Structure 1
Amino acid sequence: MRERDLIWRISEILGGVENDDCALIEAGERYLVATTDMLHRQTDFPEIMNPWQMGWMSVAVNLSDIAAMGAEPAGLLMAVGLPQEADLYFIDELFSGFRDCAAYYGTRILGGDTDSHQELTVTGTALGFVEKDLALRRRGARIGDLLCTTGSLGGAGGGLYAWQQGWLESSFIEKLLEPEPRLAEGRALAKSGAVTAMMDNSDGLALSLSDLAAVSRVGFLVYEERLPLAEGLAEMVGREMAVEMAFCAGGDFELVFTVRREALEAARLACELTVIGEAVEEGIWVEQAGKWRQLEARGYEHRIGG
């Protein structure tokens, strides 16, 4: 079963679970935002990754969800299942990665848990706060809104490709191994008042658009020529594969969001962005040279159960 299908199924069983990057909990004039992410050695950490980078990524993936809500991080709890072969060097480096990523983004590790597992398993829980009138959700996009992204796309996919080719000096590999969540951008966009819906694209742009469309009950049209491909990516893999990586590779940790047309300038003042399309009535479409094609919802996604 696809991970997203399972998530929707569980949401129906539990009832009242919103499909956002974080849960929102009443906390006076603000919301407490909470998110959790589980990472496994075999499926989530590339073989080339060192333990410090594993620690960094484990924190970064959770902070990216905080960023997508327009919130400020308040701290993280890290639960770690360690395999028998983990020595003190591995443990020291892993936890140093936790600490360093949290500190870089102005927060800290509050506590957690340790246990013994067959493979390295890290579950991070990030907490943050956002004013109630500034919280950004996946729902809220309206037909005619502009579709935007921060940063560049496809860089992490390029890193995976470079590693598989043995090009270990490629600048793309750092993008894959040390992701940078867009906390400052998320906060600034929330304060701009221009954004109608937002999430991160850690699983790939195509899946993110599918998620936004489902919750907001709209469709999207993406203009292929406007995609901000990572610098040098098309030269390395060719234009066609670079576009595929931008849509489906995952690992970029940018913010994908919709903006009211009349508020675009306010969004531009908040952070650097690229307008890549617009919200339409239904479907997920890509326009290239005047022709439209439907975009399949593919990306980085676990398969779970039967």
Structure 2
Amino acid sequence: MKMEKIRDDIEVPIIDLSNRSEASKQIIKACEELGFFKVINHGVPQEIISQIEEEARAFFSKPGSEKMRAGPPNPYGYGCKNIGLKGDVGEVEYLLLHPNSPFLSTHSDHFRCAAMGYVEAVKKLACEILDVMVEGLVGPDPNPKRSSVLSRLIRDSESDSILRFNHYPPSDGRIGFGEHTDPQILTLLRSNGAQGLQISVEDGVWVPVSPHPHSAFCVNVGDVLQVMTNGRFMSVRHRVAVQSYKSRMSMAYFAAPPLHATIGCLPGLATAEKPALFRSFSWGEYKEAAFTRRLGDSRLNLFTLLSQDN
């Protein structure tokens, strides 16, 4: 049986995006060491955040029969507890929307407008963070095409990004969402201030992520970004433990490239001393493999299949 340890002496970096040059350095350091950080002064208006949070709360407060009208999630819609293709079970109900068209027939006009505003704002934030990352990795570049090598994958009209709402009813400390990494490029997460999110800094060691009193976004590195940085950034393993005294609601924007996009090491990050660790592959290829795993399965098996030695 794997022994687990909770460490509360590790602080998650809080990065102020209003100082771009300093933020660039801090983001690179956080991505290398934890694969996770928080951002403040991010430019997403509080009004937009409050509107979508209110609409999401209203949706999850509906009777189960009404929520089921928005499901099943095939691929978008409402789901409850069964959170993996192979039957992984967690104490969570969720709603999946496509950011390019965040509408279901069961949603009100208020929900649709709130979703549109939120998607536009968090997409812009995701692109800004990715541009700052590239600047920190390879230095400022006057060529917009090179400096936006990551963000243009998200701006693409065929981007496979996802907007997900999770609701965790109060429970007795059970796992609400099991241990996993996000396969996409980047995840931007907001929550209602309830405890529960944990990141893994090493095997069996978990760090609680405390809610931030201001309107911070949590940001975590996904598998694709680890590949594109040639292993320099770490795709962080994380999970949610449900609290007994308060329900948790979170909103996650998973920034992903188009299914046909070719994923490979960014120019300049592979050298003679450290050649590219992975072969090029399409996002669709990796997504298909990633979403057929059970939660907690070793991601190394997927990375091994994509390594240059195979």
Q: TM-score range by the shorter chain?
A: under 0.3
Give TM-score scaled by structure 1 length.
0.24
Higher share of residues assigned helix: 1
Q: TM-score, normalised by structure 2?
A: 0.24
